[in-house]
Amino acid sequence: MSIEIKNITKCFGDVCALDDVTLSFGGEKIYGLLGNNGAGKSTLLGILTDLLHPTGGTVTVDGEAVSNNDTALGKVFLVAEQNLFPEDMSVKKAFGAAQIFSAAFDRAYAEKLAAKFGLNTKKKIKSLSTGYASIFRLIIGLSVNTPYLLLDEPVLGLDAQHRDMFYRLLLEKYAEKPCTIVISTHLIAEAAELIEHAVIIRDGRIIRDCPSSELTASAYSVSGPAGLVDSYLEGKHILTSNTLGGLKTACVQGQSDALPAGLEFSGVKLQDYFISLMEEEDRK
């Protein structure tokens, strides 16, 4: 039971947004789809929900192709970065529309969340601020109860309190009704606690696809006097390094060995690993 993406390519004119992408989302896990701006994250999510037609390749949901397939598409809900609802529709009417389309939509829960976030359901969607437009889409996503929930930049424009509220609600929902969740976000540090499996995409290609614990365990950070650090780093795979005054910090790929005296070791967080990886890719 999974979303299988096989050899997906998507080109917009001369620009290749996705290049032969093969991966899978399933097992009721929380995935993090991470990448820089323009990496192809939204394009990939658009293809999974048939909003975009791939140039090549196939996408299946639980073994059924998504293209023109109501059964497959009905199992996936995308909280898109942009608005797919009619502009003149009110939040309340959008809840009504969700009820028409999805029998599993929990209207009472949606109303409860709207009250919790302070979202005025009488307001038209086009009149909502960026933050509240995101909240509106998140509420629908949290209430629709599909086996696969895709979140594209879910906390866009949300203040810190609302972001925290959303992450807690998402976890509550996941604990109550486990489903496969894919979060595409730039705010990696905030979402890192949620992400069980990280997929890192760059220039339309998947460069990492493994459990986030494996990624963070695959590198470590070492810091200390620049000279000591430099001699320690000899022959090692350095992802990134920064020098400030006489102190140097480096992120190293691999398992740490015995450190010489005067150097400090620390594990890397998902965001640090991501930044190091991107910097390494930049150098290539």
Partner 1 sequence: MKMNLKPAYRYQFMSLLKGTAVFYLIMIVIVTAFLAVTINFGGSSSMTFGGYAFAAAVYLFVAGIVYIRSDLRLCLQFGVSRRTAFLSEILSFLSISAILAVAGELVTALVRVAASGNPNIFVLDFYQIVYLGAEKVLPSFGHQAMSFLTNVAMFFCACTVGAFFSLMFWRLNKFWTIVVAISIPFAINGLPYLLIKLGVDFSRFFAWIASSPFCFILTCLVIAAAAVVIDWLLLRRANIKAAKN
User: Which tokens hold the place of 208?
Assistant: 């990492």
Q: What is the spatial order of strands in the sheet that 64-65 belongs to?
A: 15-26, 2-12, 56-61, 64-65
Contact call for residues 139 and 110 (beta carbons, < 8 A): yes
Establish if 68 lies at the interface with partner 1 (CB under 8 A): yes
Please choose, out of 82-90, 183-191, 217-225, 248-256, the segment that lies near partner 1 by the rule CB under 8 A: 82-90
Among 82, 231, 242, 266, binds partner 1 (CB under 8 A): 82
Establish if 97 lies at the interface with partner 1 (CB under 8 A): yes
Establish if 74 lies at the interface with partner 1 (CB under 8 A): yes
Contact call for residues 273 and 219 (beta carbons, < 8 A): yes
Please choose, out of 19-27, 51-59, 163-171, 187-195, the segment that lies near partner 1 by the rule CB under 8 A: 51-59
Whose tokens are 């150098």? That residue is 283
Sites for partner 1 among residues 236-265 (CB under 8 A): none
Q: Give the Cα separation of 206 and 200 in Å (integer).
A: 6
Among 34, 44, 76, 192, binds partner 1 (CB under 8 A): 76
Residue number with CB closer to partner 1 (22 or 82): 82
Residue number with CB closer to partner 1 (42 or 216): 42
Contact call for residues 248 and 224 (beta carbons, < 8 A): yes
Q: Give the Cα separation of 86 and 89 in Å (integer).
A: 5
Contact call for residues 207 and 31 (beta carbons, < 8 A): no
Q: What is the spatial order of strands in the sheet that 30-34 belongs to?
A: 76-79, 148-152, 180-184, 30-34, 197-202, 205-211
Establish if 113 lies at the interface with partner 1 (CB under 8 A): no
Among 70, 246, 255, 283, binds partner 1 (CB under 8 A): 70
Please choose, out of 95-103, 175-183, 226-234, 241-249, the segment that lies near partner 1 by the rule CB under 8 A: 95-103
- Where does this chain bind partner 1 (CB under 8 A)? 46, 49-53, 67-71, 73-78, 80, 82-87, 97-98, 100-102, 125-126, 128, 133, 144, 146
